[in-house]
C-alpha cells in the first residue's frame, strides 16, 4: 500500500494525509459468528510489496477491504503513519493504492487512454504528465498507444502497479 495521490492534485489535502508506512496490529474481522480474519499483524513501509496468499475463504479480500478503509476491523487497529484508519477523513482513501487480482482496465482502450481516464477520475492535475510518468515507470512508453488487451497479464499488472505508485491512478 502506498500513497497514490501526488502533491498538488485536487484529492491531496496536504501533508496531514501523507504516510510512509501502514501498521496492522492484531486485526480481526467477524461477520456475525463467522470469523473472516483472525489476529493479523504486520508493518508495510512505503515501497514494500506485500503478498496475501491463502485458499478461498481465508480472508484475503476482507483484509484488503479493511486496508482500503471500506470495512472496519472487529478488533485490532490499522494505522496509516500516525493516523488511525477509523478516525481518518474520507480523503485518506484517495491516498491509498491497492493492486488486487482483478485489474479493471478497459481492454478496448490503449494504455495511455486507460491511465488518462483514471487520472481524470481521481482529479489528478495535468493528467498527460502523470500518464507519461506512469508509462515511463513501467517501461511502456513505446506501447502507450497499444490496446491493453494486447498486454500479458504480468505486463498489465506492472503497468497498474507503477501507476498506483506514481500517483496516476
Task: Specify whether the CB–CB gap between 98 and 67 falls below 8 A.
Answer: yes
Query: Domain range for residue 47?
Result: 15-95
Higher pLDDT, 133 or 169: 133
Distance CA 118, CA 110 (A): 12
Higher pLDDT, 99 or 163: 99
120 found inside a domain: yes
How much is the pLDDT for 73?
96
Which of 125, 119, 127, 156 is closest to 140 using CA atoms? 156
Domain boundary among 51, 66, 95: 95
- The confidence band for 160, taking pLDDT boundaries of 50, 70 and 90, is low
Looking at residue 43, which CATH number applies to its domain? 3.40.50.300
Render pLDDT for 47-88 as a digit per residue (tens, 0 to 9): 888 888 899 999 998 999 999 888 999 999 999 998 888 887
Q: Is the pLDDT of residue 5 over 60?
A: no
7 found inside a domain: no
Q: What is the mean pLDDT of residues 92-105?
A: 71
Q: Count of residues for the chain? A: 169
- 22 Cβ contact list (under 8 Å, min separation 6): 1, 43, 44, 67, 78, 79, 80
Task: Specify whether the CB–CB gap between 43 and 33 falls below 8 A.
Answer: no
- 157 Cβ contact list (under 8 Å, min separation 6): 99, 103
Say yes or no: 91 and 124 in one domain.
no
Say yes or no: 53 and 115 in one domain.
no
Render pLDDT for 106-141 as a digit per residue (tens, 0 to 9): 888 888 898 888 888 777 888 899 889 888 888 888
> What is the count of structural domains for the chain?
2
Q: Give SS3 for 99.
A: coil
How much is the pLDDT for 14?
45
Amino acid at each position: 500500500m502506498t500513497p497514490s495521490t501526488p502533491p498538488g492534485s485536487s484529492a491531496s489535502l496536504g501533508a496531514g494525509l501523507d504516510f510512509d508506512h501502514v501498521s496492522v496490529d492484531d486485526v480481526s474481522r467477524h461477520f456475525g459468528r463467522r470469523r473472516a480474519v483472525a489476529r493479523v499483524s504486520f508493518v508495510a513501509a512505503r515501497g514494500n510489496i506485500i503478498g496475501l496468499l491463502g485458499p478461498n475463504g481465508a480472508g484475503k479480500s476482507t483484509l484488503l477491504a479493511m486496508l482500503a478503509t471500506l470495512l472496519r476491523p472487529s478488533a485490532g487497529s490499522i494505522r496509516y503513519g500516525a493516523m488511525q484508519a477509523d478516525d481518518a477523513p474520507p480523503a485518506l482513501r484517495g491516498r491509498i493504492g491497492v493492486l488486487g487480482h482483478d485489474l479493471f482496465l478497459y481492454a478496448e482502450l490503449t494504455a495511455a487512454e486507460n491511465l488518462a481516464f483514471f487520472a481524470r477520475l481521481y482529479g489528478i492535475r495535468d493528467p498527460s504528465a502523470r500518464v507519461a510518468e506512469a508509462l515511463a515507470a513501467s517501461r511502456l512508453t513505446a506501447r502507450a498507444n497499444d490496446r491493453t488487451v494486447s498486454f500479458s497479464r504480468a505486463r498489465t499488472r506492472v503497468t497498474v502497479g507503477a501507476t498506483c505508485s506514481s500517483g496516476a491512478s
